[in-house]
Each structure stands twice: as C-alpha cells, then as structure tokens.
Structure 1
Amino acid sequence: MTSAAFFNFSLKKVLVQEPDSLKRARLKIVFVTLVLSILKVVILLPIVFGNIPDNQLYRLYFVFALYLLLTKYLLSRPDNINVVSHIIISTGVLAVWSNLFFFGQQLNLITIQFMFMVSFVGYYLINSRFAVIYSLVAIFPVMVYLLTNKAWHLGKTTQELPSPAFEITVLMNFSTMVIIHYMFYKAFRDNVNEKEKLNKQLHQNIAETKALADSRSVFLSTMSHELRTPLNAVIGMTSLIRDTATKEQGENLDILEFSATSLLTLVNDILDYNKSENDKIALEPIPVHLPVLLHKVCTGLQQKANEKGIKLLLEVDDHLNDKWVITDPTRLTQIIYNLVGNAIKFTEYGHVSIKATAVSLDEEQIIIDFSVSDTGIGIPDDRQQLIFEPFVQASADTTRRYGGTGLGLAIVKRLLGLFNSEIKLESKQNEGSVFSFDVKFELYTGSIAAIPLSSGIHNSLAGLNVLIAEDNPINALLLVKLLSKWNINTIVTKNGQEAIDAHLAGSFDVVLMDLHMPVKDGYQAAIYIRALNDGCKATIPLIALTASVSHNIYDKIKQAGMDDYLSKPFQSVALYQKLERVYAGKKSQPLQNAT
C-alpha cells in the first residue's frame, strides 16, 4: 500500500489502495477510535469547562490535539498504522495510571473501561507480544490499587468529572468498545468468506490443473503409441533387410535406422520426462553385471563416435569383474547413455571416457563412482546449473548447431534422484566437461546361474508354433518375417476375438498379443483365455507387444494374466530370448520391459 497525499482527508481513498480485508479493518478501527475520541472531547469541553481542575482540562486539550494530528497522519501515511496504534494504546495506558495515582486517585468505571480497551484493542491492532505487554502494564496499577486498599468502590471524588460529563464519557467509552468489536467481527467474517471463496477457486484451479495434466499424459501416451507403432516397423524392417543388403544398401539402411532411432530417442525423452515429472517412474531391482552393462552402452554408441573420428574409452575397476549388483539396468543404462551420447555430440575431436570406480565395498553394499569426461566444447560457468533444467541448453547456438530437446540432462538429474544420488559437473569452456555421480548398490548374493543371460540369436526355435494377435498389418508382417528366420510357424489374427477363436481351434506354444485391438483388446482376450476350462489352453504363455508407455502398463498386464511383455520398437534379440524360454519348456516369469 502506497502513501496517500498529505492533504488527504478521505478514509475511502486510503481503503481503496489496500487489498487485504484485515488490514482495511485495522485502518477502520484506528480511524473510528480516533474520531470517537475527538468527538468525545468536543462534547465534554463545553460541559466541564470551568468545572474541573486545570490539569484535567489540559489533558483534554492534549488528547484533542494529539488525536487530530494522528488522524491526519493516518490518512496521509496509512503504511505507518502501527505507529499510530502504539500511540493510541499508550495514551490509554497513561489514562489508567494517571486516573489511579494522579487525578482521581481512586478506582472508577472510566479507569476500568480504559483498562479493557487497552487490552482488547491491543490484540486487534498490533502483534500479540506487544499486546500482552500493554495489557499487563494497564492491569498492573489496578491490581496494585486493589491489593493496597481493603475497602474500595466505584464512587466519585472531588476531582471526578461532573454530571452529565461522567455519564457521557462512560456511554461513549462503551459505544467505542461495541463499535470496535463489531468492526473487527465484521472484518473477521468477511475475511473468512473471502478465504472460503479463494479456497473454492483454488480447489477448482487444482482440479482443472489435474485434468489438464491427466489429459496431457493421455495425449502423450496416445501420441507415443501412434509414433512407436510405425517406428517399430521401420526399425524392424531395416534390421531384416540389412542381412541381404549390398554394401551401398547397407549404408543407406544405416542412415535410415539412425534417423528412426534418433526419432525414437526424442519420443522416449519426452515421455520419460513426463513420467518423472509426475513421479510415475519406479526402479525395478534386477541382478546386473556392471562391466557387461557398460560394455553394451559403449558398443551401442561406438559407431556414433567413429563417425565423428573421436575415441570412446571405457575403464572399469577390476573389483567389479566378479561382482553383481541389484539395480534397475534400464534406468542406469538410460543415465549413462544420455551422458555419453551428450559427450559425443558436443565433442569434435579428442575422446570421450567412461569410468566406473569402486570407492567403498563391504559384504552387502558397494559404492561406485561413475564419470563421463570429454574434450568437447565445455560449458560456461553461468550455465552449468541451468543445463539440468528441462528444455534448456548451454546456449541458443548450441541448439542450432547440435539440435536435441534439452531434456537429456533433466532426465538424468531426475533419474539419479531415484538412485538417491545427484549429478556433479566440472567444466571449462572449450576444454571439456566431466559429469560424475556416486551410486550405492546392494550386492547380489544369489546364484549367478539363475540369472537370465543374453545368449544371442541362433536358429534353434524350429517347430515352435506362435499365434500372433496384431491389428497393424505392417507390424504383423514384420513379426512373420522375423519369426520365419528362426523357422517358427506363425498364424496371424487381427483382433482379440480372432485370437481366442484361433487358440481354441488350434495348438500353439505361445501367443504374441498386441494390447490395443478392435472387437476385443489384448487385456480382454488374455482374461478370457486364462478363464478357459481347458487347463492346457488356459496356461499358454502370453507375451504382450505394445507401443503404449503408460506408467501402470506392467500392473495392467499382470492383472490380465499375461506373463511378459515387450514394448515397441523392440530388439529382435529380446524377443528371441523370450521365445527361447518358451521353446525350452520353461514357464516365463513376469519380466521387465525390454526395448
């Protein structure tokens, strides 16, 4: 609230500038207290003039002049309402003391009124600490008087106000109390109503925001499904054609696959950030051999490094060679892949180095320091914290030259939060950067033989009968071509109901079930199959194939009775491993998403 003009005499002009209802009420209470006090003096002066001692008359003059000045000061400097409030309450305290020990020298009704006004007005106008102090100072002389005078009554003395001045003073004091109480109650009620109105608006805004967030999540999930479905066909067909392609065709296929994979990376970044923003990512603990995981990451990025003519170096602590840890390999891979991919992107010459070093080890846990260093463009000091914010890169020039969504490091930061870790950065512009983080892992103490290891792809699935439920003809064709390479027999159905009918009529070893299909979707078909009376048909392995990335997709698949799933686009190795288990006669356990 700004100060009003010095010659302002309007309370309304002051109140218009104050948005807070309680502060407006305080201004009104102070103003009314001053005006009523001035009015009281104006009424009393003609009555008591010449009928009371001079010292009492001078006190009335002083109060009249003081309150006039305070009224003017309040209207011109409303921000200083606390100063005015303190002065008003102080005059009330002085009135109590002077009435008892200087003027009347006896307890009377007016003195008690002033004591009460000091107490409750203090709590209305100033903070509680000062109000307590003022109340005690006003009550103290009254208590002293009561304790030191065995006989007392509310009478009059020779120095008391003459009638009707005494009665008028008492009446106006009571009127002031009633008006102040009413004004504060009204302000309190208005404030409560205002807060209730704001709360209703807040609840409405929260509901609208939640609906908007839910619709955004649904939109992103839908767009993901629509984008990942054709990408599955592009990447899958590229992989199939490469086996019979010429050298020139292979180079073209590499470009095609790189473009499709880059597009998939962008889609995944946006979806992963959306899920992390809504706290819908949870880590899935799996036994992992870190040297193998890091080697796979480097292998996947080696071609990208070779194209830029830079070295990609991997250094793994020897202490990790015989250690298995419990962690989420998908998310850990995502963190390292993003960091290494960024390092390669922003490095024009030199090298990118990945290091994993054991910094602490006992029988149950191990702490590993991961670092990714490069000899790239580096990051200016004033941008080193900003680059971990979503959609932010080191500069506009960086975005133009290197592209990207600016989500990679934001996702890394949020994923590391799930590992109870944080990213650290050391960088000098034009000299390179070092990103590092520590993670505490639990050591895996079970049998390594029980861990499913990648066995590669061999033509050992001949004779396996697979029922495919897929409404997208391109993806269905891709599956048929892929499975035929492994000498697998296939039957294709276009929806869940056709899949049920084919399953009842034929004999299959496993069903590859798309989730979003017409007539009956994959969930409905799975529930129906699991409810069959024929025990053999009801227990057939069901593997879901879906382009959906809904955060609760795994729970929904389990509830429908399916054993496993792959998200599109999937790696042929991942599908092969799952079918290999079926071929070996082992019942598939619910596994993690493989991509």
Structure 2
Amino acid sequence: MSDDYSKLIEEVQKKNKILEKALEEAEQANMAKTAFLSNMSHEIRTPMNAIIGLYNIALKNPDLPDETREILNKIGGSANHLLSLINDILDMSRIESGKVIVKKQDFSFGDMLEQINTMVESQCDDKGLEFVCHINGHVDDYYIGDDMKLKQALINILGNAVKFTEAPGTVSFLVEEIKRDKKNGHICFKIKDTGIGMDEDYLPKVFEPFSQEVEGASNKYGSTGLGMAITKKIVEMMNGTIEVESTKNVGTTFTVTVPLGISEKLGSGDEFDPGKIKTLILDDDVTACEHAQLVLGRIGIAADYCLSGKEALSIIEKSKARQEPYQLFLVDWKMPEMDGIQVTRALREDYKDESTTIILTTYNWDEILDEALKAGVDAFLAKPLFAGSIRKEIKEIIADKRKRYREAAKVSLKGRKVLIAEDMEINALIMKQILKMKEIEADHASDGLEAIKLFEESPVGGYDAILMDIRMPKCDGLKATERIRKLEREDAKSVPIIALSANAFDEDVELSIKAGLNAHLSKPVEPDALFSALQKYIK
C-alpha cells in the first residue's frame, strides 16, 4: 500500500513539474510577444512619423498647386488610415495576450466627457453634422474605473457614427445612471446616428474582427474593421455590456452599460455664497437648460433659464429695473438668430463691471476662443455641465484669479526656444520645420547625454521646453529626464519635458510620467497636439 502511495506521489510531482515547465514557457512566450509588439510599434511608428510629419509641413505651403495639394491630402489620408490600422492591430493583439489591465482609480467623469465631446463635435463640424450630448438625471462628478479604456470604447463608437452619417445628419450621445447599488453606479451610454444603418442579418457579425457589411467599405469610409471588436472586448473587460440596433438607411443605436465604482471624491470645495449668485441660463435646448438648472441647484445656485437671445435681453432688462441684476450668465454658443458671442456683446453693453461673469457653454471652443474673449466672455465650460467644473470656475472668479483659458490665449509660442533630443536626423529636421510654423527656435541633441550637456550649458531659463525621444543611444529619454530633474539649477525641475515617442502603450506613458516627463505624445505627432502641449506647459 505504501509503495502504491509513493508511486502516486511521484506521478503527481512529475505532472506538477510538467505543468510548471509549461507555465514558464507560456509566460516566456507571452513576454516575447509583448516585446515583439512593443518593438513593432516603435519600428513602424518611426517611418510613419516622417511620412505624416513631412505631409503636414508640405501642406502648410500656401503656394501649392491645387493638383499637388490634392495628392498630398490623399497621401495624408492613406498614412493616417495605415496608422489607425496599426493601432487597432496592436490593441487587439495586446487584449488577446492578456496584457491589457483595467485600472480602478478615481477619475473626473466630467473631464472624460469633455474630452470626448470636444473631439466628436469637431469631427461633426467638419462633416456638417449636428452633435448633441445630454445627461439624463443625476450623475456623479467622480467615479472609480478606467477612464482611458472607457473613453477609447466610446470614441470608437462615436467615430463610427460620424463616419457612416452624411450631412445633414445627427449624432446624439445620451448619458444616464440607470441603477445604483452599494458599490457601483451603472452608467448607460446611448449613441444614436441617422447614418446608413445596417441590415438586421448583419448585426450579429458587427463585433467580429475585420467584419464589414459591404465590400469596399474600408476604402470608402476608412474603416479598419477592428474598432468594434476592440470596443466589445474593452466593454466586457469592464464587466459591461454592448448592444446594437439598426435599420438600413435610417440609422444605428449602440447602447453601452458599464458599472463604475462609487467614488468618495468630491469637486472643489465652495469658497463663496452660492445663494447670493443670481444666475440666468441661456440655451435653445430646453433639456440642456433643465440639466444646467439641476446641476447648479446641487451647489446651491438657483437659476432661471430662457431659450433665445432676444428673450434673455428682455428678462435682463426687467431684472435690472427691479434692481435684481444677474451676477452669472451661462450662455450657449450655438443658437439660432443670436449666437452666444452676439448675446455676450449685447450683455457687456449693460454689464461692464467686474462682478458680472459670463461663461460660454459649448462642446469645443478652440475656433472661437479669441473672438469670445474679445466679446467679453470670462470663461468656458464644456457641455454637459458638471457641478464640480462650475464650482471651480466660480471659485477662481471670486478669488480674482485669471481664467485659465484667457491665459492660454495669451501664451505666445513665437520666439520660444526648445531643445529637441532625437537620434534620427530626419525626425529632428521634421520637428524643426514643424516648430518653425510657430516661429519657435530649436537646438538638436542626437542622444540623451548630449541633451543633458546642452541643458547644463544653457543659461537658466534658456530652454522653454524639451522634446524628448525615448529610445536613444548612450542614454535613453527616461534616464536623461531623470538626470535633468536632479540637476542643481532653478529650472531643472520646472522646465517642461514632453516625450515624442514611438512607444505608445499605456505602460510607456506611465514610465514617462514616473521619470519626470510632463506629457507623452505618441509618434507620429500631429502639429496641433504638439503646440497645444507646449502652450499648456510653458509658463
């Protein structure tokens, strides 16, 4: 009996060793796959950076013949399509290899929606589409979850809605907390378009990789065929669900429901008396007015609302006659008859004193920033409104601080000096040409050690920013940044250092931030993204 028992133990030990060896080999294979994906991402993005960079530079030439400009636009479109395909393939590979981890951390729900809406509203404007975003009922300012992954999934769906909808169409984005338990708020995102729609027979295949209803759709619409497969996997990793309804030539509706942890984090504390702030909301959308009224009520501000500029001016005149003037105006930008900027000009004729605040509400204000500020707008808020962001703006105004958007408008990049750390000569030349668009001067270091040396030898404040490649010989960008941050000079810790890297994975971004970089831009870098980052971090 004891011999049989010994043989059984030996057999079990042998099997355990076989399993341990198999597990070790699997882990090594997984590590090799991750290393391969990272290297492939870097190697492909490096030439793509040159192609897209040169395309952007060439397109800025005002003397280009129309035929040449058309050819360049086709090159740029093809390059961006190839880049999106590369990104999707890498994302899919990482998800399937189990290398994608869903984070659980506090994040600003309002900030996430603002970033999504800014991007989508701009895309809709380019195509002549109407974009609307509404929040039904109450949602928290903060939740616990992975906002980056959630944002990626929602942008994939919204991007498809824009892509497959022709003008004059509509893309709508509805957000609602439909259920709450002890740990989670269950958030429903409903994305509806008036686009080409899909046949009912095709709907079960919509989430399959490389699946397209019509042959040639990739060429016509620039689709990679992986976006919805990735989206479904991300939603499922977050323990959520995704459903689709569609009618051919009528439109499509995607419904995503995701549980997000309930956060104890609140918006900025109140340092003002909200009960004394008489407020008027102006928006031609009654749902948006009611939502803004609800949000303001949460922070103790009672507000009236009206649906047109003419009605607003009439209400304001009556309030002044009763010696009950408004202190705060939330004015929508896009309205018929009188838009938000025209209303602001009219308001400023009557309200010239510093105690009156006009906030413009919109999805994206980049194109009207200067005009709005000149008209008398004090600040901007992204729609849909959140108590935390409104509270923050009012707090800054009452504390007599400069508005961050006004400051951003005044930051000039002309004459600034930047250090480029880049081991590839072609990339450095392209970056210098891009910086010249804003009349920014640039020095070039061919590796990390040279970058450290040039910074050390420069006068304090000599460089307004450093653009740092990550993979370089002698000393990589992460080590170079760490060494610069440790230098004993005034500007060592404050000089903005921005990664321009072909390393584009989440862990690459985390390594950059940990090393002391301010931001991480993945190659190929769009000029607008670069200039926006420089404006944000240069003081």
Q: Share of identical aligned residues, percent?
A: 29
1:445 counterpart residue number: 267
Per-residue deviation, 1:484 = 2.0
Q: Give the equivalent residue in structure 1 for 2:120.
A: 297
1:549 counterpart residue number: 504
Mapped pair 1:276 → 2:98 = no
Q: 1:291–1:316: 8 Å Cα contact kept in structure 2?
A: no
Q: Distance in 2 between matches of 1:198 and 1:429?
A: 56
Letter in 1 for 2:464: D
The amino acid that maps onto 1:235 is I
Residues 102 and 149, structure 2, Cα contact 8 Å, conserved in 1:
no
Q: For residues 226 and 386 of structure 1, what CA distance do their matches in structure 2 show?
A: 33
How far is 1:224 from its partner?
0.8
Q: Deviations over 1:248-302 (max 9, x none)?
A: 3333232222111111111111222233342434457345163663252243366
Please give the secondary structure, in 1, of the residue aligned with 2:241.
Answer: coil
Alignment of 1:112-261 (within 5 A): 186=4, 189-245=6-62, 246=64, 247-261=66-80
Q: Deviation of residue 444 (structure 1)?
A: 6.5
CA–CA separation in structure 1 for the residues paired with 2:153 and 2:498: 28
**Which residue is 1:335 aligned to?**
153
- 2:468 aligns with 513
Q: Give the 3 Å change call, closer, same or farther, for CA 456–319 of structure 1 in structure 2.
A: farther
Contact 1:291 1:321 in 2 (8 A): no
Pair member with larger Rg: 1
CA distance in 2 between counterparts of 1:556 and 1:521 reads 12
CA contact (8 A) 1:371 1:434 kept: yes
**Quick one: distance in 1 between partners of 2:138 and 2:57?**
35
Shift of 1:324: 6.1
Does the 8 A contact of 1:375 with 1:431 survive in 2?
yes
CA, structure 1 residues 272+495, in 2 after alignment: closer, same or farther (shift >3 Å)? same
Unmatched 5+ residue regions in structure 1? 1-180, 585-595
Kept in 2, the 8 Å contact 1:350–1:375? The answer is: no
Deviates more, 1:575-584 or 1:462-471: 575-584
Q: 2:240 aligned with 1:421, yes or no?
A: yes
Matches within 5 A, 1:519-558: 519-537=474-492, 539-558=494-513
| SS of residue in 1 equivalent to 2:253 | strand
SS at match of 2:41: helix
Matches within 5 A, 1:26-37: none
Contact 2:84 2:224 in 1 (8 A): no
1:462 is matched by which residue type in structure 2? K
**Contact kept? 1:301, 1:341, Cα under 8 Å:** no
| Partner in structure 1 of residue 174 of structure 2 | 356
Residue number in structure 1 paired with 2:85 = 266
Q: Does the CA-based 8 Å contact 2:192-2:251 persist in structure 1?
A: no
SS of residue paired to 1:423: strand
Do the aligned residues in 1 keep the contact of 2:123 with 2:162 (CA within 8 Å)?
A: no
The one-letter code matched in structure 1 to 2:243 is K
Distance in 1 between the 2:534 and 2:120 partners? 24
Asked whether the equivalents of residues 479 and 515 of structure 2 are also in contact (C-alpha less than 8 Å), the reply is yes
Which residue in the other structure is 2:297 paired with?
none
Deviation sequence 1:420-474 (CA, Å, 0-9, x none)? 4321122467875432113567797235448976998888123322111011222
TM (norm. structure 2) is: 0.61
Higher relative contact order (CA 8 A, sep 6+): 2
Distance in 1 (alpha carbons) for counterparts of 2:404 and 2:148: 15
Deviates more, 1:245-254 or 1:504-513: 245-254
Rounded to whole Å, the distance in 2 between the matches of 1:399 and 1:299 is 23
Q: Deviations over 1:82-115 (max 9, x none)?
A: xxxxxxxxxxxxxxxxxxxxxxxxxxxxxxxxxx
Q: Give the AA of the match of 1:460.
A: S
Number of the residue aligned with 2:189: 369
Partner of 2:443: 491
Q: Which runs of 5+ in 2 are unaligned?
A: 269-390, 397-402
Residue correspondences, number: 392
- SS in structure 2 of the partner of residue 435 of structure 1: strand
CA contact (8 A) 1:496 1:520 kept: yes
Equivalent AA in structure 2 for residue 568 of structure 1: K
State the Cα deviation string for residues 371-428 of structure 1 (Å, max 9, x = none): 23455362555x6455435x35267958888785543122112322455432112246
CA distance in structure 1 between the partners assigned to 2:415 and 2:118 by the alignment:
34
Q: For residues 35-74 of structure 1, what are the structure 2 equivalents within 5 Å?
A: none
* Letter of the 2:190 counterpart: F
SS at match of 1:288: helix
Match of 1:163? none
**What amino acid is the match of 1:258?**
G
Amino acid at match of 1:499: A
In structure 2, distance between residues paired with 1:469 and 1:262: 28
Shift of residue 519, structure 1, vs aligned partner: 1.6
1:567–1:319 distance in 2 versus 1, CA, 3 Å: same
Aligned to 1:592: none
Query: Alignment partner for residue 569 of structure 1, among 521, 524, 527?
Result: 524
The structure with the greater share of residues assigned to helix is: 1
Aligned equivalents of 2:165, 2:533: Cα separation in 1: 38
Change in 2 beyond 3 A, CA 1:318/1:436: closer
CA distance in 2, matches of 1:258, 1:444: 43
More strand by share: 2
CA contact (8 A) 1:349 1:375 kept: no
- The answer as to whether partners of 2:218 and 2:224 remain within 8 angstroms in 1 is no
Amino acid of the structure 2 residue aligned with 1:221: S
The one-letter code of the counterpart of 1:205 is A
Give 3-state SS (helix, strand or coil) of 1:388's partner: coil
Does structure 1 conserve the Cα–Cα contact (< 8 Å) formed by 2:502 and 2:523?
Answer: yes
1: CA distance, partners of 2:408 / 2:167: 34
Deviation for aligned residue 1:233? 2.6
| Secondary structure of the corresponding residue to residue 467 of structure 1 | strand
Counterpart-to-counterpart distance in 1, 2:75 and 2:406: 26
Secondary structure of the residue that 1:565 maps to in structure 2? strand
Q: Show CA shifts across 1:525-545 (max 9, x none).
A: 222223323344465332222
